[in-house]
Structure 1
Amino acid sequence: MKDLPILNQLTSEQYLVQLRNNLEHRQLLDENRNLSLSDSSEQDFLEMFFLEKIFIPDKQRSPHTIKAYRSDAKTLLIFLTEYSLSFRDIGFPEVKAYNKYIKEKYAPKSAIRKLEFFRRLLDFGYETQFYQAHLSTWITKPSSKKGHYIIEETQPEMQTRVQVRELNQKDAEYLLSFFPRIVKTNQNREQLEKRNLLIGYLLYTTGLRAGELLSLNWGSFRYNRQGYLYADVIGKGNKPRTIPIKEESEKLLFEYRKSLGESVEINPEDTSPLFFALYNKKEPCEHKKRLTYPSLYKIVKEAVHLAGKHQKVSPHWFRHTFVTMLLENDVPLAVVKDWAGHSDISTTNIYLERVNQDNAHVHMQKVNLFR
């Protein structure tokens, strides 16, 4: 799985010809010129699975998604290795054993994702005759609470406790104040402090996913006809969307640019990264290496640690907080869906259901149950 040669051909102009010749040479086409892996090696099976079902041409995958797929594949390989099994050995008993293994070892949401990866692999194997039986039918996924929750267990009773992965307004604002305070170096201190604070504000006031935030360029920003600042974002599934920028974040954006000695004139042609590593040099903007997710994660976790509470907070918590706060302030569901970049309004509705539950006492107070 470390080396998938066929993936290197995806950008070639002669992709179709090369793919056809490759398949014919490796005898992976049946008499009807359909993909058949009945007699293929396990290496061929894995290569074709990743090519056709995971790393699909022209379909953008976020670093998180790629990392999750690699983790799921590694989990399956570890299981097979522990029991001295090959992919060809997988049958009904092995499916049930792996199902049990995943349910016992992982929390519901992680288990569901890993079993979904396993299901897709088994289905691909059945579709290509690598497996002669429809083995995925025997997979049973655990139930999971809808929405953005962390499931914990209390001691010693081991009762399930549900923690929502979001912040209230007071805690969010408190945490943001620590983003600039984590800077320890004196070199580029002002730039780093302004950069970190802007990162926190954009996470909190836009609901951007981490990858979307890190992909922002200076040219991502523009003014509309009314003179309000917006950010054009390429989101999950390569889908574009536009998000309004709050005045507080706009002010920090220009302060950050000025501290770098960069132009504050909006330029849609500027593809330089908004956030980049600031080296300990006199001219920090000389080499712009886009900020990575580990760096962003470290900034958030250090701010969280310094703040002294909500230790589980990650960049994604701000996204959940943003969506919930929009709904609490009566922003229409369809508008929230568009700003958040949800592919389906049912995802946004999960947030609304919980907001309505939290506001149940407001409705109850309006009801006169006694004469």
Structure 2
Amino acid sequence: MNDLTILNHMTSEQYLMQLQKQLEHRHLLDENRNLSLSDSSEQEFLELFFFEKIFTQDKQLSPHTIKAYRSDAKTLLIYLMDHSLSFRDIGFPEVKAYNKYIKEKYAAKSAIRKLEFFRRLLDFGYETQFYKAHLSTWISKPTSKKGHHIIEETSSEDAQTRVQVRELNQKDAEYLISFFPKIVKANRNREQLEKRNLLIAYLLYTTGLRASELLSLNWGSFRYNRQGHLYADVIGKGKKPRTIPIKDETTEVLFNYRRSLGESIDIDPEDISPLFFALYNKKEPCEHKKRLTYPALYKIVKEAVHLAGKNSNVSPHWFRHTFVTMLLENDVPLAVVKDWAGHSDISTTNIYLERVNQDNTHVHLHNVNMFR
């Protein structure tokens, strides 16, 4: 995959010449000069699939997404090896058998993702003549309720045993936030680390930012509107921009963090330095700003959860679900919540509203006079 990856760093003219040369040398063009893998090796097939469909030049994948793709590829490769199959051997019976295996082994959400990866690979194979038949048509994915639930399943034969909501109530969220600064063990930069962790907790809880969005924040991401209120401009999924209001309590924590670093609290839209960066083992914490990574953020949340003695399943994303639910519980209009959360479709936001309404049914029941 190295030769193909190098193409991403070339000019358009160099790109065309080198791509033509590589494909012609490897006999990967048919008489119509279309990409043809009918006679290619399986290694070439996989290499081009990842290059053209997964790790594309115009798409920047998060570490979480990359990890998921690797997991899906590994699942398929292990299945093929266990059954003494090659990619060339895949046909109708193999597709149906793998489909059945995935649906039985994995919960609905994971199964859907793994089968979608398989579908994309089969479609690419058909488009490039590696497969002569449109095999992906035989894939059938399980149904999964969208939203913020974890469905715990015992086995394929048994019914679902419990539905766990991936969110915190207000009391637990506020309690958990107080532990973010307490996990700091280092003496060097202790104050800065404590204030950084507290700000991470406040932003997760009061903005509903995705982990990738929070880690992408720069000091220049913040701005005041005409009324003097602080906002953050973020780039969400699909590179869609949105603006999120910042609560006064979070603003205070933000400025305290900046002061602890010896940096100005004056908003500078031109400042592209990362808001969160590694502070360990640095004599001058602001000198070399290496943006905080997702594994580091995940570790911070998990250590705080452990110290607080809360549900070990809590992850950064739980705060996002908590935020959306709390907005709806406080009668923030559905369309406004959709925009704040960056949901591509209002039906996603509506799933949260359905749960809020369901939780409030006892209010209606209480108002019914059933005993005279």
Is the Cα contact below 8 Å between 1:336 and 1:348 reproduced in 2?
yes
Which residue of the partner structure matches residue 270 of structure 2?
269
**Alignment CA distance shift 1:367-1:127 (3 Å):** farther
Greater CA drift, 247-256 or 271-280: 271-280
Give the drift of 1:26: 2.2
Greater CA drift, 249-258 or 27-36: 27-36
Is the Cα contact below 8 Å between 1:148 and 1:320 reproduced in 2?
yes
Is the Cα contact below 8 Å between 2:146 and 2:348 reproduced in 1?
no
Tell me the distance in 2 between the aligned counterparts of 1:107 and 1:63: 22
Instruction: Give runs of aligned pairs for residues 234-245 of structure 1, distance below 5 A.
Output: 234-245=235-246
Q: Deviations over 1:1-45 (max 9, x none)?
A: xx3531321232132333233323322222222222211221221
Tell me the distance in 1 between the aligned counterparts of 2:338 and 2:348: 8
Give the drift of 1:184: 1.5
Corresponding letter in the other structure for 1:68: A
Give ranges in structure 2 of 5+ residues lacking alignment.
none
Tell me the distance in 1 between the aligned counterparts of 2:132 and 2:62: 33
Is the Cα contact below 8 Å between 1:154 and 1:161 reproduced in 2?
no
Is the Cα contact below 8 Å between 1:59 and 1:238 reproduced in 2?
no
Is the Cα contact below 8 Å between 1:4 and 1:47 reproduced in 2?
no
Instruction: Give runs of aligned pairs for residues 35-46 of structure 1, distance below 5 A.
Output: 35-46=35-46
Greater CA drift, 306-315 or 325-334: 325-334
Give the drift of 1:117: 0.4
Greater CA drift, 17-26 or 79-88: 17-26
Tell me the distance in 2 between the aligned counterparts of 1:337 and 1:159: 30
Instruction: Give runs of aligned pairs for residues 1-371 of structure 1, distance below 5 A.
Output: 3-14=1-12, 15-153=15-153, 160-365=161-366
Give the drift of 1:180: 0.6
Is the Cα contact below 8 Å between 1:62 and 1:236 reproduced in 2?
no
Q: Deviations over 1:193-226 (max 9, x none)?
A: 1110000000011111111111111111111111
| Secondary structure class of the residue paired with 2:9 | coil
Give the drift of 1:106: 1.7
Is the Cα contact below 8 Å between 1:61 and 1:237 reproduced in 2?
no
Is the Cα contact below 8 Å between 1:218 and 1:274 reproduced in 2?
yes
Give the drift of 1:143: 2.5
What root-mean-square deviation, in Å, do the aligned CA atoms of Structure 1 and Structure 2 show? 2.0
Is the Cα contact below 8 Å between 2:151 and 2:160 reproduced in 1?
no
| Length, aligned pairs only | 368
Is the Cα contact below 8 Å between 1:194 and 1:252 reproduced in 2?
yes
Give ranges in structure 1 of 5+ residues lacking alignment.
none
Tell me the distance in 2 between the aligned counterparts of 1:46 and 1:17: 23
Q: Deviations over 1:232-253 (max 9, x none)?
A: 1111112211111111110000
Greater CA drift, 33-42 or 16-25: 16-25
Tell me the distance in 2 between the aligned counterparts of 1:10 and 1:181: 44
Give the drift of 1:314: 0.3
| Secondary structure class of the residue paired with 1:160 | strand
Tell me the distance in 2 between the aligned counterparts of 1:288 and 1:304: 27
Greater CA drift, 84-93 or 115-124: 84-93
Is the Cα contact below 8 Å between 1:60 and 1:237 reproduced in 2?
no
Greater CA drift, 332-341 or 114-123: 332-341
Give the drift of 1:192: 0.8
**Alignment CA distance shift 1:20-1:365 (3 Å):** farther
Give the drift of 1:320: 0.8
Tell me the distance in 2 between the aligned counterparts of 1:229 and 1:324: 23
Give the drift of 1:48: 2.0
Greater CA drift, 92-101 or 248-257: 92-101
Corresponding letter in the other structure for 1:69: Y
**Alignment CA distance shift 1:338-1:9 (3 Å):** same
Tell me the distance in 1 between the aligned counterparts of 2:116 and 2:108: 12
Give the drift of 1:46: 1.4
Tell me the distance in 2 between the aligned counterparts of 1:271 and 1:232: 12
| Secondary structure class of the residue paired with 2:33 | coil
Give the drift of 1:84: 2.3
Is the Cα contact below 8 Å between 2:107 and 2:153 reproduced in 1?
no
| Secondary structure class of the residue paired with 1:10 | helix
| Secondary structure class of the residue paired with 2:233 | strand
**Alignment CA distance shift 1:8-1:364 (3 Å):** farther
Corresponding letter in the other structure for 1:116: E
- TM-score with structure 1 setting the length: 0.93
Tell me the distance in 2 between the aligned counterparts of 1:132 and 1:332: 51
Tell me the distance in 2 between the aligned counterparts of 1:260 and 1:267: 16
Identity between Structure 1 and Structure 2 (%): 83
Corresponding letter in the other structure for 1:102: I
